[in-house]
């Protein structure tokens, strides 16, 4: 890696590149920073920098029954999605990695389909299906739909963990008399547990932040936080959303850091 510096180009000659790159980084991070600062504003004018500071938008978030209910729904769905997607995704990644199956290409395509199929089509399709089997506006329906979207991320994360693991170890365990399951849970699992946890965190955040499908299949008592936010934004720019957004940004940071820490734990 240190070889990069061996190129006969000085940092001074690269100043323009650093300036340009820095500007793009600013473009990427500025919106989040501005929203976090504004959420502590005391006025409803959304001025920046705020003239006075207060926690009134947080009070209006936590004090509102509607926002609180929506948050609870989102948390419930995200936790359930993380559990289900991690179980199914880890099982699938393990089976793909064992590589004794035919049709691996087709299986991969199917499992990662939700990454490339336009999400609006998934939303309309799911709504259409759920209307016939009565799953619209239910937690179960949301968990199923979100699991399908989180599954590819879990599969890819766990697969990348498995790639740095030697499956022969499990074979050794089995040849020494361990059953299939105890070999997996005692030998393989401890070595890929960090990627499994990362996958679970990604699944959680995928579900928690999901908008488009939830827009179609959630409503009434099961309105998710993102759906309520979307509808609120269609009407007017309510500063309460800045407070909610800040909470979501903090959640992303916490989960990403956790995923990074676990990733490094390997």
Partner 1 sequence: MSTASVSLDHAGRPNGALNTDALRADARRESRGLFALLSPGLLLVFAVIIVPIGWLFWLSLFDESGQLSAANYARFFEQASYIKTFVTTFKVAFVVTGACVLFGYPLAYMLSQLPRRAAGVCLIFVILPFWTSVLVRTYAWLVILQRKGLVNTWLMDLGVIGQPLPLANNFAGVVIGMTHIMLPFLVLPLYASMKTIDVDCLRAGMNLGASPAATFRQVFFPLSLPGLASGVVIVFVLCLGFFVTPALMGGGKVIMWAMRMEQTTSLYSNWGAGAALGVVLLAVTLALLGLFHWLLGTRATGVWSER
Positions 29 through 48 that interact with partner 1 (CB under 8 A)? 29-32, 34-35, 38, 45-48
d(CA 210, CA 74): 9
Cβ of residue 55: shortest distance to partner 1, in angstroms?
19
249 binds partner 1 (CB under 8 A): yes
Residues in region 192-231 near partner 1 by CB under 8 A: 205, 208-209, 211-212, 216, 226, 229-230
178 binds partner 1 (CB under 8 A): no
Contacts with partner 1 by CB under 8 A: the residue count is 94
262 binds partner 1 (CB under 8 A): no
Radius of gyration of the chain (CA): 23
9 binds partner 1 (CB under 8 A): yes
Contact window for partner 1 (CB under 8 A) among 53-61, 63-71, 146-154, 185-193: 146-154
CB atoms within 10 A of CB 144: 18
248 binds partner 1 (CB under 8 A): yes
- Measured from the CB atom, the residue of 147 and 218 that comes closer to partner 1 is 147
Contact status, residue 213 vs residue 126, Cβ threshold 8 Å: yes
172 binds partner 1 (CB under 8 A): no
Contact status, residue 208 vs residue 35, Cβ threshold 8 Å: no
21 binds partner 1 (CB under 8 A): yes
- Measured from the CB atom, the residue of 63 and 219 that comes closer to partner 1 is 219
Which residues are bridge partners to 41 per DSSP?
53
Cβ of residue 155: shortest distance to partner 1, in angstroms?
8
- Measured from the CB atom, the residue of 64 and 108 that comes closer to partner 1 is 108
- 52, 65, 168, 234: residue in contact with partner 1 (rule CB under 8 A): 234
- Measured from the CB atom, the residue of 13 and 168 that comes closer to partner 1 is 13
Residues in region 66-85 near partner 1 by CB under 8 A: none
129 binds partner 1 (CB under 8 A): yes
């Amino acid at each position: 890696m240190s070889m990069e510096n061996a190129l006969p180009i000085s940092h001074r000659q690269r100043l323009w590149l650093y300036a340009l790159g820095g500007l793009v980084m600013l473009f990427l991070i500025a919106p989040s920073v501005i929203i976090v600062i504004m959420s502590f504003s005391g006025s409803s004018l959304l001025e920046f920098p705020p003239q006075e500071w207060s926690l009134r938008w947080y009070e209006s978030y936590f004090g509102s029954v509607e926002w609180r209910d929506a948050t609870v729904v989102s948390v419930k769905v995200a936790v359930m999605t993380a559990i289900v997607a991690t179980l199914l995704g880890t099982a699938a990644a393990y089976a793909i990695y064992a590589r004794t199956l035919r049709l691996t290409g087709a299986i991969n395509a199917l499992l990662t389909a939700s990454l490339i199929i336009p999400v609006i089509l998934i939303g309309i399709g799911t709504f259409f299906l759920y209307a016939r089997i009565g799953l619209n506006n239910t937690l179960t329906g949301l968990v199923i739909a979100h699991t399908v979207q989180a599954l590819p991320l879990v599969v890819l994360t766990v697969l990348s963990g498995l790639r740095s693991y030697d499956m022969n170890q499990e074979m050794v365990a089995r040849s020494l008399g361990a059953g299939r399951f105890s070999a997996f849970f005692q030998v393989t699992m401890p070595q890929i547990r960090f990627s499994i946890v990362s996958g679970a965190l990604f699944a959680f955040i995928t579900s928690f932040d999901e908008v488009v499908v939830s827009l179609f299949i959630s409503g009434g008592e099961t309105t998710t936080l993102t759906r309520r936010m979307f509808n609120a934004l269609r009407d007017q720019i309510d500063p309460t959303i800045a407070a909610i957004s800040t909470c979501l940004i903090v959640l992303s940071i916490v989960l990403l850091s956790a995923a990074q820490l676990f990733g490094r734990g390997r």
